Structure 1
Amino acid sequence: MTFDPEGLSRTQCEGDACVACHKKWPRPRIRIGRLPDNRALFACPECADALLPESQTNVHPFPRRVAFF
Structure 2
Amino acid sequence: MNWGPARTTHAMMTFDPEGLTRTQREGDACVACHKKWPRPRIRIGRLPNDAALFACPECADALLPQQQGNVRPFPRRVAFS
> What range describes the TM-score normalised by the shorter chain of this pair?
0.7 to 0.9
Matched, 1:59 2:75: no
Report the AA paired with residue 59 of structure 1: V
Matched residue SS, 2:54: strand
1:22-61 CA-to-partner distances (Å, cap 9, x unmatched) read 0000000000000000000000000000000111231221
More strand by proportion, 1 or 2? 2
Q: Which runs of 5+ in 2 are unaligned?
A: 1-12
CA distance in 2, matches of 1:37, 1:62: 30
2:61 paired with 1:41: no
| Aligned residue-pair number | 65
Structure-2-length-normalised TM-score: 0.75
Cα RMSD after superposing both structures: 1.2
1:26 aligns to 2:38 (yes or no): yes
SS class of match (1:6)? helix
Provide the rounded CA distance (Å) in 2 between the counterparts of 1:20 and 1:63. 22
Percent sequence identity over aligned pairs: 86
- Structure 1 segments of 4 or more deviating over 2 A? 62-65
- Higher RCO structure (Cα 8 Å, ≥6 apart): 1
Give distance in 1, aligned partners of 2:50 and 2:20. 15
Match of 2:7 in 1: none
